[in-house]
Each structure stands twice: as structure tokens, then as C-alpha cells.
Amino acid sequence: MELRHSHLILQHYFIMITIAAPHQILESVFGYTEFRHNQEEIITHLLSGKDAIVLMPTGGGKSLCYQVPALCLPGVTIVVSPLIALMKDQVDALVLSGVKAAFLNSSQSGGEQSFILQQLQRNELKLLYVAPERLVGDDMQFLRYLQDIKLSLFAIDEAHCISQWGHDFRPEYRVLSQLKEKFPAIPIIALTATADAVTKKDIIEQLHVTDYRVFENSFNRPNISYYIKPKRGYYDVLAEYLEEHKDDSGIIYCLSRAATEKLAEDLREDGFSAAAYHAGLEKTIRDERQDLFLKDDIRIMVATIAFGMGINKSNVRFVVHADLPKNIEGYYQETGRAGRDGLPSEAILFYGAGDVMKLKNFAQVDNNPEQTQILLKKLDKMVQLCETKTCRRKYLLNYFGEEAPDYCGSCDNCLSKPELQESTVVAQKILSTVYRLNQKFGMRYVVDILKGSNSEKIREEHKKLSVYGVGKDKPKEEWLHYVKELLHYGYLQASDGEFPVMKLTEKSNNVLFKAEKVFLTAPVQVTIAKEPVIYQQYAYEKELFEELKKLRNKIAHEENVPAYLIFSDSSLLDLATYLPLSKNDLPKISGFGAFKIERYGDQFLEKVQDYCNDHSLDTRIELKQPTRTKKTVTTRERPERATDTKKASYEMYRSGKTISEIATDRGLALTTIEGHLSYYITSGELDVNIFVPKDKQELIAVAVEKFGRLSLKLLKDNLPEEISYGEIRMMIAHLAVGALKRPER
């Protein structure tokens, strides 16, 4: 065969030959035991020489989808990435794991660039990251150059940038259309975390891929908990939260530059490690602060949305919105920067009506009513998220066109598990007021009447109404809460228009004139988790964890790289949980690949050994089992390693004890134990049939259908006497299993 003409065939041939198995690379280089989501499927697909379009949320693990094949195949993988900062980060991380990787972009000198090109030519690189402008520059010289290089794969990161319909179009990305023509035998993987249908279609068209598969993942971020709290007096709540998370890194978003400066200063005065970041600062200052944040030398970045693009920091534990975001897209992207390492993280938004007014003004686009309408509509969706009484996660996922169960168990609404209470009198007072005001006034006016307000805006004739002042017994906020509840349950309706007025409904007539009972959610105070969530879920040595972090930071400083690139928080947590005492045990710890073990293993091991000596602790490495890939994904992921109180009850139950025996033994309430065990019904480890006879199951299911699952009391009252609270609770857990199974996509 003539070699010159066999260029294509040869490349095909190379694709088929792999120099290492994916799983082996995953373990030895990256130190992980299991692939996540559909990483393995994607990798196998690429190794068979086909193209892949990958949609995965931030933190999902996109990078491994091309980094592993890059190491399985002979030749070099070209990674196109628009974010220079991120590029350096990724290359640093690879180099720290012993992978030959480099990047090419405009920030480098000519000398540096030609050095890298030489390495490329000598086939010394496994991955080369390239900025799009470097591809197009010099009349696309680089692409011609690549013709003579042994390539394995093209990876297009942030692939939505190729599409005009995406939110971040980069004209240089258009050159990627030529890849298939110029390199027909080299597979392409395009990756993005932005998933709208038009953009997706455009990516496929622009790249001219033909033999491709689209890999989509749920956009759910199960490790992020969502909280929305009132904005009034938020500073104290925030400060208290930060006080309890002093060792964690986080981002606080504000709307304006001035607000970031002010808040950062206030926080610093209160002893927090905080700095401001916004586009108005000089570049050197911005870079410096970003660097300090990445290295954990600044804990809290108080920033405008200018901050975060290209931040790959995996141990951001919380994202706070001190001001309302303009739309859900922005909110989700910003909160998504928390918890890339998969550990529990929190998103907290402080919501106040003042922000809505402010943003409504910003949304006014001069001479463009259509655009204004679009912006206002998006803002409205954001407000609805804040006001909803149902699961926030469900609302978010639905917004992005994804189905979700009613209950996620990790948003403020789900966690507060509001019990419905009989609120007939409260409802009657409100509805009568609306009626007396001839259904012509808004929510706040109604509440002012109830409170007997002396404000000027109250009309004299209204002060003579019988309802004037009948609600003096409750604070204004509570009345507002109840009005919203009545709206939510359809006892009231708000008219359209800028100043919505309260209208009665058929349902309210039953209350006013037929004495029907009303059940509403009582106003609840949701407190944000007191301890950092990781403390609650993992039985680990806290003190050791802190020491390991210190060691990591010391090394990071010496090597001048961000700490999380040395080891992620989850790797250190693994160490502090399983206490490996010999070097042979280190490969079992997540993130400890061969190269890193060689380089850092001893130092970390020594810390663990010392700690165990001082505290007379033995290793727990035998407890470490590879996490099995679960077939049914639940949104409420059960921490595999938790030795929590639920588990204790479960094990006692398995050992043959009855529920009441466990309650006595543990000194806990019967209902608490039932709650514990119901958890294992949800997880599929216990069968509901053990606890609830079949005939009762049916009755309970019907009642749940009718009354919802919010109030156990409501269900109990509407079921036969002999059905117990425990049985209802177990059945609800059982029903949740069906709801939690994500529909096949």
C-alpha cells in the first residue's frame, strides 16, 4: 500500500488501536474508581471513531470525556476552548497528574509558542489546548500545520459558542466547520452545559458531523440545595451563615459595583476574608483577587456577574445572591458554580420586592417594546421561582424543559415540609375584606385594612368597614403570607395588569357563604443548615480534615497553583474518613492517581498516620467500597458513606428489633424511627409491604391523591381510624419512589 495515499486509512487504523483501556486510565491517572453519568458510554463511542455531542451540567465531568480517550489513543488530542484562564487551569491539573499537556493562546510569547509547536511535532504531547483565535490566525496556518501531526481527537469545549443562537456566540468558532472536511477521520466531541434545542441543532449542523450521537444528561445538580430567604434584614442572616462556614469558599453576587464594594467592606469589618470583584476594577487587581480566591487565601468573593466565567474552582461551597438575578438562566449558571466537586453545597438567594422594581426599570429597552417584553417576562419567571411554595428544584428543571418529581428534599420548600393547618378564620377575615372592598384593591391595601392602618392612603370610608382592624393580632408579614396562600390554593385570584387587584373565586364563595373549612400552610421560618452540610453527612475526622487542607495549601503555595488542583476537597474528605495508613491503600482514595501518589502521597499519609497515632485510631480503609453505579437515579442522592442516625435505626431493624423496641433502645420517638425506616423504603432497601397491608395501601394512595402529602393530619382525619400515622408515613415514602424515578430520556 502506498503510504502517502493511505493517510485516511491510517488514521482510521489508529483510532481502532488503543494504547490503554479507559478504566485503567481513570484509575491510574485520575485516581477515580468509577465513571460518572454516561462518561463511559461517551468514551467508548469516541474510541470507535464516531463523533459525540455532549450536554452535561457544570461540574458533571465533561473534561474526562475527552481527557480519558486522549490518553487511550496514540497521537494528540486538540482541545478548543474559548476561556484562556480555564485553559491554564486544566493544563495545570493535567500536568499535576503526570499528563503531557500544554496550551497555545495569545497570552504567550512567540518563543513559548514555538517551543510548544516543536513538542507537538515530536509527538510529545497528549493534549493541546488551543484558543479559537489561534486556530483562525495567520490565515489558518495552524490548521494546515495540524495536517502533518498525528491526531487522535478534536474536543470542542463550550460548543454553544459556535451558534449564533447561543448566548455566547464567538465568530472564530465558525472555523471549526472545516474540521470534518480537513480531518474526516478524526472524531469530534463537542461539549456544552447550555442545552437549548436550537443551539444544539446548530452545533450539529455547523460541525458537519454525520456519524454522531447526542449524549444528554439531566441538568439537575443534586448536590446543590436551594434556599430563598427574605431580603429584609438579610445582612445579619448572611453574617451568621458565613460565621458557620468560616472555612468554606463562596461567592456572593450583587447587582451593582458599588454594592459589591460596600458589602465586601462590611464583611471585612466583621472579620470575614472577603474581597470585591467587578469589571470596573483594574485588570491587575481583578487578576490578583481572583488568584487569591482560587488559592483559598480569600474565602469570599463579593462580585458582580462579571466574576465566575472561566472559574473552575471545584470547592466553592456556597453561592449567595444578595440581589435578585435578572432571569433564571443567569441564576442557574451562577448557582451552578457551587459544588463542582460533587460535595453538598448551597445556593442562597435573598429576595425582596424592592429588587423587582429596580430590575423592572432596567428591563426597559429604549424604543424596543418587544425586547422589553421578553426581559420582563424572564424577570417574572424569576419572581415566580422566589414566590413558589412548591419545590424550587422542580421549578428550575421544568423551566429548562426537564421533568422532575414534586419533592426533592433539598430545597427550602421541601425541607420545611409545611404542615397544612386549619386556617378558616384567617381566610374568612381576608376574603371578607376583599369582598367589602368590592374586589377593587391590591394585596397590600387589603392587609392595611386588616391591620387598621392609619396611613394616608387608606380612604376614610374604608375606616368605617367592620373588617377595618380585625387583623391587629398578627404582624403584617403573616397576613401577606396568608393572602399569598389563598392565591396559591385558588381562594383568591389576582387580576392582570400592572396593579393587580384581589378577586374572589368560586372556591372563596364556599368559604364566605357556606362555612367551608380552609387549610393553609402556616408561616414558617426556614433556617439554613447550621453546620456545613458535609459535617452532617459524613462521619469523618474534622480536625484531620482541617490539617490536610493546611498541608494542601502549603504545597499549593510552594508550587504556585490553586489548592484544589493538588487535591479536591472530596479527596481530602476521603482521607479523613477512611484513614489510609499504608501507601498501598492510597489508590483507593478518590483523586489519588499513580503520579500524585508518587509526588504527594507520603506527605499526606504522614499526616493521617500522626493523627491516628495521637488519637488511637485504626484505619477504616476496609469500609471503602467502590461506589456502585446506581440504575435508578434519585434526586436525593443518599450519601454512601454516611454512618448516620437513620442507618443506626435501619441496622437495628435488620437485626430483628421492632420499631417500638428501637425507639426505646435509642431513646427516640416512635415517629422518628418510622421516619428513619421510611427513608429506606424510598431508597428501595425496605419493602412497604412489611409495614402496610395491601388493602390499607390502596386507601392511603387514594387519600394522598385527593389531599396531597403535605399534611399527615389531614390524611389521618380522612382515613379510617385503624390506619396509623406510621402506616401513612411509610406509604408516602413508597409513593415517593415512583415519583423520584427520572423518566427515561
**Contacts to ligand ADP by CB under 6 A:** 32, 34-36, 39, 56, 58-64, 314, 340-341, 568, 590
Shortest distance, CB of residue 527 to Zn ion, whole angstroms?
Answer: 16
Q: 303: helix, coil or strand? A: strand
Distance CA 396, CA 205 (A): 29
User: b/e map of 434-463 (b: 16 or more CB within 10 Å)?
Assistant: bbbbeeebbbebbbbbbbebeeeebeeebe
Q: Shortest distance, CB of residue 420 to ligand ADP, whole angstroms?
A: 40
> Which residues, including other chains, have CB under 8 Å from residue 197's CB and lie 6 or more apart?
none
Binding-site partner at residue 337 among Zn ion, ligand ADP, none, CB < 5 to 8 Å by type:
none
Nearest residue (CB) to ligand ADP, 95 versus 581: 95
With 0-12 / 13-18 / 19 or more C-beta atoms within 10 angstroms meaning exposed / middle / buried, residue 488 is middle
Residue 393 binds which one of ligand ADP, Zn ion, none, with CB within 5 to 8 A depending on kind?
Zn ion
Cβ closest to Zn ion, residue 390 vs residue 537: 390
119: part of which helix (H) or strand (E)?
helix 110-121
Torsion of CA 601, 603, 608, 612, to 10 degrees: 130
Helix (H, G, I), strand (E, B) or coil at 274: strand
411 or 431, CB closer to Zn ion? 411
Query: At its nearest, how many Å lie between ligand ADP and the CB of residue 707?
Result: 41
Q: Please report how close the Cβ of residue 23 comes to ligand ADP at its closest, in angstroms.
A: 10
Nearest to 258 by CA among 241, 272, 278, 274: 278
Give least dist CB 574 to Zn ion, A: 28
| Length of the chain counted residue by residue | 745
Please, what is the minimum distance in Å from the beta carbon of residue 341 to ligand ADP? 5
For the bound state, the minimum distance from the C-beta of residue 65 to ligand ADP, rounded and expressed in Å, comes to 8
- Smallest distance from the beta carbon of 570 to ligand ADP, in angstroms? 7
Shorter beta-carbon distance to ligand ADP: residue 193 or 686: 193
How far is 153 from 172, CA to CA, in rounded Å? 20
414 vs 556 by CB, closer to Zn ion: 414
Which residue do the cell numbers 468514551 mark? 43
From the list Zn ion, ligand ADP, none, partner contacted by residue 571 (C-beta under 5 to 8 A by kind) = none
| Cell numbers that stand for 720 in this block | 379510617
Taking the complex as a whole, the smallest distance from the CB of residue 27 to ligand ADP amounts, in Å, to 10
Judged by CB, which is closer to ligand ADP: 61, or 405?
A: 61
96 or 414, CB closer to ligand ADP?
Answer: 96
414 binds, among ligand ADP, Zn ion, none (CB under 5 to 8 A by kind): Zn ion
User: Rounded to an integer, what distance in angstroms lies between the CA atom of residue 530 and that of residue 650?
Assistant: 25
Secondary-structure percent of the chain, ordered helix, strand, coil, rounded to 5? 50, 10, 40
Cβ within 8 Å of residue 40, ≥6 positions away: 22, 23
Q: Which does 411 bind (CB under 5 to 8 A by kind): ligand ADP, Zn ion, none?
A: Zn ion
Rounded Cα–Cα distance for residues 601 and 35 (Å): 23
CB of 136 to ligand ADP, least distance (A): 24
Q: Tell which phi-psi region holds residue 210, choosing left (phi > 0), alpha (psi between -120 and 50) or beta.
A: alpha
Nearer to Zn ion, 411 or 589 (CB): 411
Give min distance, CB of 39 to ligand ADP, in A.
Answer: 6
Report how far Cα 652 is from the mean position of its chain's Cα atoms: 34
Residue closer to Zn ion by CB (options 363, 408) is 408
Residues 50, 125 contacting (CB under 8 angstroms): no
Residue 217 binds: one of ligand ADP, Zn ion, none (C-beta under 5 to 8 A by kind): none
DSSP labels, 547-605: HHHHHHHHHHHHHTS-HHHH--HHHHHHHHHH---SGGGGGGSTT--HHHHHHHHHHHH
Residue 314 interacts with, from ligand ADP, Zn ion, none (CB under 5-8 Å by kind): ligand ADP
Residue 434 binds which entry of ligand ADP, Zn ion, none, with Cβ cut-offs from 5 to 8 Å by kind?
Answer: none
Residue 381 pairs with which residues in a beta bridge?
Answer: none
Alpha-carbon distance of 255 to 305, in angstroms, equals 8
Helices 443-451 and 476-488: crossing angle in degrees, nearest 10, is 130
C-beta of 468 vs 567, nearer to ligand ADP: 567
List contacts with Zn ion (CB under 5 A).
391, 393, 408, 411, 414
* Minimum CB distance to ligand ADP, residue 301 (Å): 19
Partner from Zn ion, ligand ADP, none binding residue 391, C-beta < 5-8 Å depending on class: Zn ion
Q: Which is nearer to Zn ion, 73 or 733 (CB)?
A: 733
Both ends of the chain: CA-CA distance in Å?
46
Residue 355 binding: pick among ligand ADP, Zn ion, none (C-beta 5-8 Å cut-off by kind): none
Q: What residue 620 binds from ligand ADP, Zn ion, none (CB within 5 to 8 A, per partner kind)?
A: none
Is the sign of the CA dihedral 508, 514, 517, 522 positive or negative?
positive
DSSP characters over 33-70 = SS--TTHHHHHHHHHTT-EEEEE--TTS-HHHHHHHHH
- Three cell numbers written together for 278: 467587578
Q: Within its chain, how far is the Cα of 165 from the centroid? A: 24
Write down the least CB distance from residue 25 to ligand ADP, Å: 11
* Least gap, CB of 413 to Zn ion (angstroms): 6
Residue 568 binding target from Zn ion, ligand ADP, none, CB below 5 to 8 Å by type:
ligand ADP
Which of ligand ADP, Zn ion, none does 638 bind, CB closer than 5 to 8 A by kind?
A: none
CB 48, min distance to Zn ion, A: 40
Tell me the three cell numbers of residue 470: 380585625
CB of 391 to Zn ion, least distance (A): 3
Query: Which CB atom, from 39 or from 105, has the smaller least distance to ligand ADP?
Result: 39
Residue 56 binds which of ligand ADP, Zn ion, none (CB < 5-8 A, kind-dependent): ligand ADP
Which residue's CB is nearer to Zn ion, number 108 or number 416? 416
Residue (47 or 64) nearer to ligand ADP, CB: 64
- Measured in whole angstroms, how far is the alpha carbon of residue 168 from the centre of its chain? 21
Nearer to Zn ion, 34 or 402 (CB): 402
With CB cut-offs between 5 and 8 Å by kind, which of Zn ion, ligand ADP, none does residue 649 bind? Answer: none
* Per-position DSSP letters for 392-438, written without gaps between them: HHHHHHHHTT----S--SSBHHHHT-PPEEE-HHHHHHHHHHHHHTT
Cα separation of 197 and 484, whole Å? 35
Kindly tell me the burial class for residue 148, based on how many C-beta atoms sit within 10 Å of its own C-beta (0-12, 13-18, 19 or more). exposed
CB neighbours of 264 closer than 8 A, spacing ≥ 6?
Answer: 274, 275, 276, 300, 302
DSSP secondary structure letter of residue 341: T
Residue 596 binding: pick among Zn ion, ligand ADP, none (C-beta 5-8 Å cut-off by kind):
none
Q: Which is nearer to Zn ion, 338 or 408 (CB)?
A: 408
